[in-house]
Structure formats: structure tokens, C-alpha cells
Structure 1
């Protein structure tokens, strides 16, 4: 049984899913931000002023502050490009995209799939397109810049090839007319819904299975035909791994960077149930960027400016049975069992904790203000942008960092 009234309050409020709202703190002192109040919504102080960006954060501080954020949501700390993914299966991501719209340069709803209907190509997933939400995001994301220029959020839906057979892939890759038909359909979809371009996730699917030259042809033709219609293509690319180091490297970057608007680098999912550990070790993230745009390479600054370094907002809960990925709700249920501070993994620059509950033993890796801030600083140092997978999986106060 909990020994203090404060802990009883924690349990009651957690059971009610943080339904209560309290006033913001009036001072910057540590004693204020560690009082047993659950904060929600806009606040007068950001996470830096509240001294919450700590190497070993207290679990109770996470529970108290995670739904609060600095009231000036237009304030940006990171000066590179920020892309945020949003998925239909995580409704809070839609809210986050609107709440912090001014912090993002690109929003990518994960809505669309390329499918075959007989011999023709079609776009599936259009039923998920929310025109009203898109209008809200664009309206809330307008930022007045210097010389009276207005910056607006761009919308690049992600698109994947879905249920393509080997025959379908072979036909598409070998026939220029097939690719033209596909691109015309994608262009029509963009124009119909007012998209600024597309994010294509195909490289991880096909690289290593087919000749690079054929894959280059597919991507470059799509990029060029979109560009003729004032549309742009962002390409999702895999990071360097020991078991498959050359799926996307410097030679691929050299060939593509002048034609591709940006590269969404998937620097997450380093660990797994089979190999538990950090979600994205900092040294590995750095190596992944330097692998495709090494120090001193030709046009290094231009290449790196187009790299959007992946930043995960989800974590992993490892258990004797395996476990798996977790988002904020599951994380909060677990972190409330932590009595004091989270552990700092010095090598990987992440936080984790170990607990034992009625369901058994858990080792939990999940982003913290500290771990995210370290990766934002790395992106700034390397001269790259950021791609967040995905909005709504993390805690609201994370966005004070961007």
C-alpha cells in the first residue's frame, strides 16, 4: 500500500487517465515543479525553465508534467527541417499536428497505398483523407517570416506499394510506360487533394532484391515527373546496419540528392525483442548520417540539409515473454511503478528502467526529454533535419524541445 497521500492521488488520477487539470507553476523553482499536481495544456514555463531536461529524470516529474507544454507553440529552437508523420491508427497524432503546427515544416499523413486493379494502378486509402484536418493544420501552421514572407506547412502523404506480386514489380521496373501511368495517377491524386508532394517508401522493400540501376530508374523517373508538376518527392531510406550495410550508402546519395526533395532516414528500431536494448543509440544515429554523407564528401552541406534524421517517439517494453513496442499510454502505466529516477545509459545516451509488476518483469526503453534533446543537438551539429515517427506516440511536453 502507498504510504503517502500524494501516492494515493497518483494512483487515482492515473486510473482516471489524467482527467484533471491544474494551474501552472508560478515560479521556476524545482520545488514547484515537483509538487504532486498533474499539469495539462499551455503553461507559462517550458521544460528548460522548469529544469526537467535531466540526465536521470524522476518518474514523478514525468507523470506530473507530460501533458503540459509551453504556451508559445510557435517558438522554435531547431532551425532545420522538421517532418512529422501521422497515422490513422493513432488519433492523438492528429491533435499534436494541429497543436504544434508552427513547429513543423512538413506533415506526412500515412494514408495511401499503391495497388493494382487488374492491369491498372490505383491509390487506396483515400477514405482516410481528412480535408478539414488538413485545412486546420495549414491554417495553424502559417508563420510570418522576414520580408513579409509567409511560411506554411507542406503536406506530403506517405505512399507504399501494397500487395504487389513479383510479376507486378517486374513489369513496373522493366516498362517505362507502366511507370508513366503510375506517376500520372499519383500526380492526379496530389492535385485532387492539394498535396505538395509524396513520401515514397520503397527502397527498404526492394533494395538488395533487384539491381540498383533499376531502382534508381523507378525513383528518378517519379521524382522528375512530379517536379514537372511543381510537386516534390521525399524518399524513405534505411540506415546502415551490420547485417545489411550497403542498402543505401554514399553512392546512392550521390546519384539521387539533386533530384530528391529530402531523404527520411529511418534511424530507429535498432533493437528488437530478439536483441533487446536502446531504441536508437546516439553513436549509431551519427554513423547512419555519416555513412550516406561523410565528412568532406562532395557537396556535403547540401546533401545533409536534405537528410531528415529519424527520431522515434515510441519505446519498447522487454519482458521474459518478449514484449514489444509501446506508446505513451502503456509507458505511463509502467513508469508509475518507478520509485525514483530513470537510469541513464551512457553508451547509447538513452534512459531506461527495470520494474517488476503483477504482470512480471519489465525492462523499458522509451524517449525522455533528455534523450530527445541529445538527438536534436546531434541533428543541429550534423546539419541535418529531423523526421518524427510518429506524432502522438510521445508525450506532449516533448515538443518544447523543437
Structure 2
């Protein structure tokens, strides 16, 4: 900040000099006024404009979304922090009559598991809410010296036919690569075989592509720490994507799609085995979408929220970089993970607990009649209860407000969402989608 000039006369100075050089006095006055103006501008920026901008950003991110006129949960005032257990028990099975109206218009992928059959029914009921449906059916395994694709016995062709008749959602079964990576990544003939198995299965069964999960398996095998193997892994994904793109879907004659599953980082900085911005850019032409697993933040060993909103935002920043980064243009390919399951953790008197689904959650509400708390830092609801052995538990389960805020985060980034998994949620969750 500029200082005002000292206008005192120097000792022994001649006063007539001030009269002879009036411009010097005027300059000093101008400088003083300019400095005052700068101070005023700085004050306005830091104490008025800056807080106003911060408040506006906060309102954009955290304010309730516009109320859809045909949304049961918004019309009923159910999307709120001060929800009570009785309200959830009474309203959770209700939804708007218009099940085809999409409120979240970005790409939406839903997982369905064979061990949770409710998901199959919900996929049909809310078909129009989804752009991609991924039944968890397949595993690619090593069998001796051979590689086999297991899971066709899980495939439900009748269910797929019903989906085709009632909506436009693409069906991309999930395939988990459990085969030893060294057995096929380093051998061209084996790589080609693996790719051929998956492409052929799509053609034979009439799928629209696949959702591939392999990165976490490769990290567990330790191959992603080796630059050569890591590069081979990326090349394999590219080759698979291009092979799928060269074939067309029986449903709409469009090319088969590849959605790739990626995990969040496990530290504040990306490690060698983490999937990062450079990987995203490298695969962007071969992969149609990236299913980002932004859940499972906590565990029985470290109880806490399922997916803190700040952590989700941090994960997206690590993956996509800061505003203006070229990777920002790839945000539309991210399916931001949203959990429809919760966790019941032991927090006193021992250690334990684990995942719970909707019916478990409702049973706990009915039995314990708890007071639900809204945790601002994580943007999640939770409650505490003591079991029959007087052991204290903490239950974190999604709520209308927590899901709504994550949808808003996805919109802010321009991302889609992926739901794990729809058979685990409550019916009125789908009114938000």
C-alpha cells in the first residue's frame, strides 16, 4: 500500500518555494486522494464484495434445488435437515406418479446385483430415470492356463426385454477382471483373447457394452507400481474400448460402449497406483464413461460417514484438476458415485458393524425410534442406538437431503452419477433423479 508523502517543510527551507512550485503541492494532494480511493476500493473488495461472492457461492451449492412441480418429496417438504424417524417410516415407499420425469438430466448409471432382487423391479419401474443400467453378472477368471468369462447364468434375458420395451436405458453388465494380470497383459495373444471374450458376449447377448472393473484388482496385485506394467494396463483398456466401438448395439445400431470403474485416492496426494488426471486424459477417446466410486469412506476400523461431501469434492478436484484445466472438459464422462446403502458401526463397547440396506435401516428406525442428526461437515444424517447387549452403534444412511446435495455437486461439475446400488435404497430416493 502506498504511503502519503510527508508534506512538512525541511529545516531551513524557503517558504517562497511553495509559491514558485504550486504543482508539487497539487501532486501531493492528488496522491493523497488516490491513496484514499485505493483504501476504499480495498475495503469494498475485502469486506463487502468478497463476502457477498462467498455467500452467493454457498447459496448456489447448499441451497435447496428448485422444486419440481410433480415431485412428491419436494411438494411434501421431505428434503430437509430436521427429518424424524416417523416421517421416514411413513413416506419412504411413496413416489411421484410420474415415474418417467427426470429431474437429474445428466447421465445416470445404476448398478443392480443378483443378491438384491429388488433392484430388478426398481430398474423396470424407474427405467426412464436412467441412461445406463449395469447388472453385476460377470467375472473374467484364470482357470489353469486358460481364461474364462463366467456369469452368463446370471443373465436375465426376459428382464432385459422388458427394459427394452419400457425405456431407453442402455444395458452394460459389469465385468470384473479377476484373472492374474501378468497372464494376459504381457502376452498379446492372451490380451486379444480376453477382449474377444467380452466383445463376443456383448454381441451374443445383445448388450450395449460393458462396465469394466479392474484397476483396484491390478492395484492389489501391485502391478501399477511398475511403469511398464502400468502402461500395458492402460493400453489394454484402450484396445478394449476401440474393439467395442468397432461393433454396434443390436438395440440402436450405435457403437458398443465401455464404462470403466475407478476408485478415489486414499491420501491427499495421488499415489503411483491411483487413477489420476493423466490416466483420464489418456483413456478419454477409448472410454465412454468413468464410474467413480466415491463411497466407502469409512469402515468398522474407522467409523464415520459413508461419503463426506468435502471428500467427494476433493476427489473430483484431484481427478479433474482446477478450473480451466483441460481435463475439466472431460467432467461429463464422470459418473459420480452415490451410495444407496448405509453403515451400522459399533462405536463403543467394541468394534464391528458394516453395510446395511433399506429394509435394515427401516427396522432399526422402527425398533429404536432414534433422533436423527444432520452432520453439516459430511452432509449426512446419522443416529445412535444401543443394542440388546448395551453396545452403542452409529448408523449412517442416505437421506433425501444428503442425496440432493450430492446431485447438486454433480451438476456443478457437469458430471453424471452412478448409484451403488438401486436395490439397497428407499423408494422415494428415485423422486430426486
TM-score range, shorter chain: 0.7 to 0.9
Candidates 253, 256, 264, aligned match of 1:231: 256
Candidates 74, 77, 81, aligned match of 2:107: 81
2:20 paired residue number: none
CA distance in 2, matches of 1:390, 1:130: 18
2:199 paired residue number: 187
Question: Structure 1 stretch 250-259 or stretch 93-102: which is displaced more?
Answer: 250-259
CA distance in 2, matches of 1:311, 1:68: 21
Candidates 87, 91, 94, aligned match of 1:68: 94
CA distance in 2, matches of 1:89, 1:284: 29
Q: Using the TM superposition, give the Cα deviation of residue 339 of structure 1 relative to its aligned residue in structure 2, in angstroms.
A: 4.0
Candidates 171, 178, 189, aligned match of 1:155: 171
SS in 2 for 1:48: helix
Instruction: Provide Cα deviations, 1:232-281, integer angstroms capped at 9, x if missing partner.
Output: 21110011221883301111112111221000000000000010000000
Larger helix proportion of the pair: 2
SS in 1 for 2:374: strand
CA distance in 2, matches of 1:133, 1:384: 28
Q: In the TM superposition, what are the counterparts of 1:128-139 in structure 2 within 5 Å?
A: 128-139=154-165
**Runs of 4+ in structure 1 over 6 Å off:** none
Contact 1:327 1:394 in 2 (8 A): yes
Contact 2:400 2:429 in 1 (8 A): yes
Contact 1:93 1:392 in 2 (8 A): yes
CA distance in 1, matches of 2:411, 2:352: 35
1:209 paired residue number: 223
Q: In the TM superposition, what are the counterparts of 1:51-62 in structure 2 within 5 Å?
A: 51-62=77-88
Relative distance call for 1:70 and 1:171 in structure 2 (3 A) is same
CA distance in 2, matches of 1:352, 1:117: 45
Candidates 299, 312, 322, aligned match of 2:352: 322
Q: Which runs of 5+ in 1 are unaligned?
A: 1-43, 142-151
Q: Using the TM superposition, give the Cα deviation of residue 119 of structure 1 relative to its aligned residue in structure 2, in angstroms.
A: 3.5
Contact 1:54 1:369 in 2 (8 A): yes
Candidates 295, 299, 302, aligned match of 1:268: 295
CA distance in 1, matches of 2:116, 2:369: 30
CA distance in 1, matches of 2:379, 2:177: 35
Candidates 320, 339, 343, aligned match of 1:293: 320
Q: Using the TM superposition, give the Cα deviation of residue 56 of structure 1 relative to its aligned residue in structure 2, in angstroms.
A: 2.3
SS in 1 for 2:74: coil
CA distance in 2, matches of 1:252, 1:161: 19
Who wins on radius of gyration, i.e. which is larger? 2
Relative distance call for 1:301 and 1:341 in structure 2 (3 A) is same
